[in-house]
Amino acid sequence: MKWLVFDCPSGIAGDMTLGALVDLGVPLEVLRGALATLPLSGYQLRQTAELRHGIAATQVHVDIEAEHGHAHRHLHDVLGILRAGRLSPRALDWACKVFEHLARAEASVHRTTMEEVHFHEVGAIDAIVDIAGSCAGIDWLCTQHGIEGFRVSQIRVGRGVTRTEHGPMPVPPPAVLQLLRGFPLQFTSTEGERVTPTGAALLAAFATPLGDTAIRVEATGYGAGTFRFDDAPNVLRLLLCAPTPVPQRPAASERGRGAVAGHDAGSVSVVTTTIDDMVPEFFGHVMEKLFAAGALDVYYTPVFMKKGRPATQVTVIAEPAESRRLAEVLLHESSTLGVRIAQEERLELPRRLATVHTAYGPIQVKVAVRPDGTLRAVPEYESVRSAAAAAGVPLGDVYRAALQAEWDGESGS
């Protein structure tokens, strides 16, 4: 399992997120191509190489033509722009959720409704580009690297006063604090806005606190901000990593004693609860929240309780270090009054991600190694779906092409 960790030693903004994504390997043309499908004009994207306190970083500039300026939009206006484009289904869903988080925070601060919130700065072209572009870039990274979870390790916020279209606001602005409820924050000793509403909304929509979970870093990307601070480099750091501890292969002398040769042995936590009084539509929402919080798997089983009452058993598979966090998600998001946590042994086939080339473009596949050393490949659904949508062909055609490419390209299969 891979995670994308937002590390914010000097805060986060939308353009910093774009820069960090490009620095991590997302081609700028991927962002331009996704954004070009939206009914937006009057802007240009460009990237520059920057140094912040000696750290090499990428800055993505959203250059706005003067005559377009700052438009004032409501939530339905922004969602209409996003839905009128051709973002991938996942990127579109994420972008809409980010703006919904923004609207909810603004509505809470101004004591109005989400529908009545009048976006000012965050309704402008550059904010839409920042959010839609970030979601498209994260979607590309997830497809390329098999990212399944998002975390944030630290968030430094500023202090002082900033000027907005509402007038002077304390730093962090009220909407930012509303968006970052539940996240541990560090206040700087120097003045200046470190976390923008756009950056805070991205964190609220994507990430949960990393806490004390150890990670194994595989790659990093640095996105430069516009302002320069004396107490910290103004960069956002994105970490492509895997949570640890990772189950270790048993030593040769120990294989056969509680382990199966050719498998990785370890343990998982199983969090369960039984629910008989929740609105059925809520189950989809609960599952989405659990996966976003780091669940390895979630599934529902129909059961019967005492007096013959039909109910649903919720089962969550998690890394042991994440079990308490996921139990809290269940207690917060569902109607259950209690959950059970058990530890179970897990045997896994070693596996890796690979990319195969088909007539429909590159497809990501998961390659597992069986105990006898032969290989088994399974195409990744999101990668297959994106390629099928782009080519306008049935999903099964792309799936079969990916399977054939894998078998043709791998030895021992």
Residue 134 contacts residue 21 (beta carbons within 8 Å): yes
Diameter over CA atoms, the chain: 73
| Pairwise pLDDT comparison (124 vs 288), residue with the higher score | 288
User: For residue 239, how many C-alpha atoms fall within 13 Å in the half-sphere facing its CB?
Assistant: 20
Chain position carrying tokens 């869903």: 93
Each domain of the chain, given as residue ranges in start order, spans: 2-244, 255-348, 351-409
- CATH fourth-level superfamily of 255-348: Transcriptional regulatory protein pf0864 domain like (3.30.70.1380)
Structure tokens at 178: 């509303």
Q: Where are the alpha helices (DSSP H) in 60-124?
A: 75-83, 89-110
Quick one: pLDDT at residue 406? 57
**Interacting residues of 373 by C-beta distance below 8 A, sequence separation 6+:** 262, 412
The packing angle between helices 89-110 and 381-391, to 10°, is 100
DSSP-derived secondary structure letter, 277: S
CA distance linking residue 41 with residue 122, whole number of Å: 16
State whether residue 137 is helix, strand or coil.
Answer: helix
Give the H/E segment covering residue 289: helix 282-292
Q: What is the mean pLDDT of residues 183-195?
A: 89
Give the model confidence (pLDDT) of 72-97 as tens digits: 788 999 999 999 999 999 999 999 99
- In this model, does residue 122 exceed pLDDT 90? no
Supply the mean pLDDT for the chain: 86
Give the model confidence (pLDDT) of 235-281 as tens digits: 999 999 988 754 444 343 333 333 444 455 578 899 999 999 999 99
Q: What is the mean pLDDT of residues 218-225?
A: 96
CA distance linking residue 224 with residue 54, whole number of Å: 12
Phi, psi of 47 (to 5 degrees): -120, 150
- Strands 208-209 and 147-157, by their bridges, are parallel
CA distance linking residue 241 with residue 147, whole number of Å: 9
Strand partners, 11: 9
This model's pTM is above 0.85? no
Quick one: pLDDT at residue 251? 40
Report the side by side order of strands in the sheet with 351-358.
351-358, 361-369, 375-379
Quick one: pLDDT at residue 252? 36
Q: Work out the pLDDT band at 14, boundaries 50, 70, 90.
A: very high
CA distance linking residue 112 with residue 115, whole number of Å: 8
State whether residue 146 is helix, strand or coil.
Answer: coil
Quick one: pLDDT at residue 254? 39
